[in-house]
Amino acid sequence: MTKIGIVTISDRASAGIYEDRSGPAIIAFLAETLVSPWEPVARVIADEQALIEETLIDLADRIGCALICTTGGTGPAERDVTPEATEAVCRKMMPGFGELMRQESLKYVPTAILSRQTAGIRGASLIVNLPGKPASIRQCLQAVFPAVPYCVDLIGGPRLETDSAVCKAFRPGA
Ligand SMILES: Nc1ncnc2c1ncn2[C@@H]1O[C@H](COP(=O)(O)OP(=O)(O)OP(=O)(O)O)[C@@H](O)[C@H]1O
Ligand SMILES: Nc1nc2c(c(=O)[nH]1)N[C@H]1C(S)=C(S)[C@@H](COP(=O)(O)O)O[C@H]1N2
């Protein structure tokens, strides 16, 4: 069964100060979008670079997640280090994901440019950063998801199938 990692990176959600709503929003989006069998592996952690790196490595190398979505820690504040952790564990960066997500987010909030969200490849795992705000999840994933299944194909991951009424995955030549 295809495993998908969901990592909420928030000091306050991980301390129980507020309930994590962004991790569940990622799971809800994937449940609506994917028709091939998959299983979420969710983690809620603090904004600590070493811990983020450890979690991403565990989900990619030990659990074997085809896709890992993070939420939170992408902004300019001192403790926002998710993009640094992502870059540290990835062999290849995929800057187009961040570019498209910021462009799309700008339709909703003028602060979209404050997110340094990016994406990258570690082994056969695609890691995608999302902002922390629960509402940003759908806005960002809807924009990039058409390219996700083909990206996962190209890195040797499992074949992800989407419900074309919700998200039309694009595979060149298919
Ligand atoms: N995982 C989440 N679940 C629910 N609400 C969230 C989550 N992450 C962020 N928010 C909301 O968005 C607001 C702004 O998020 P902010 O960028 O401060 O989050 P963060 O950096 O992920 O969290 P923290 O500062 O606790 O580490 C928060 O005050 C909260 O209302
Ligand atoms: N779609 C969308 N993108 C968004 C936002 C949002 O509400 N919706 N918030 C912005 C804000 S206010 C910040 S500070 C940055 C970084 O958020 P993070 O540190 O929680 O990841 O994401 C930005 N991108």
pLDDT over 90 at 25, yes or no: yes
Mutation pick for ligand 1 pocket among 9, 11, 18 (CB with most ligand atoms within 8 Å): 18
Ligand 1 center–CA 51 separation, angstroms = 18
24 Cβ below 6 A of ligand 1: no
Mean pLDDT, the chain, integer:
97
Q: Which domains does the chain have, with CATH numbers?
A: 2-154 (3.40.980.10)
Ligand 2 center–CA 16 separation, angstroms = 21
Ligand 1 center–CA 140 separation, angstroms = 16
Nearest ligand 2 atom to the CA of 140 is 1
Laid out side by side, the sheet with 2-9 consists of 38-45, 2-9, 67-71, 125-130, 119-122, 92-93
Residue type, 113: I
pLDDT tens column, 134-149: 999 999 999 999 999 9
pLDDT tens column, 35-88: 999 999 999 999 999 999 999 999 999 999 999 999 999 999 999 999 999 999
Instruction: Report ipTM for this prediction.
Output: 0.95
Nearest ligand 2 atom to the CA of 139 is 1
Q: Which ligand is nearest to the CA of 98?
A: 2
Q: What is the DSSP string of 115-143?
A: ----EEEETTEEEEEE-SSHHHHHHHHHH
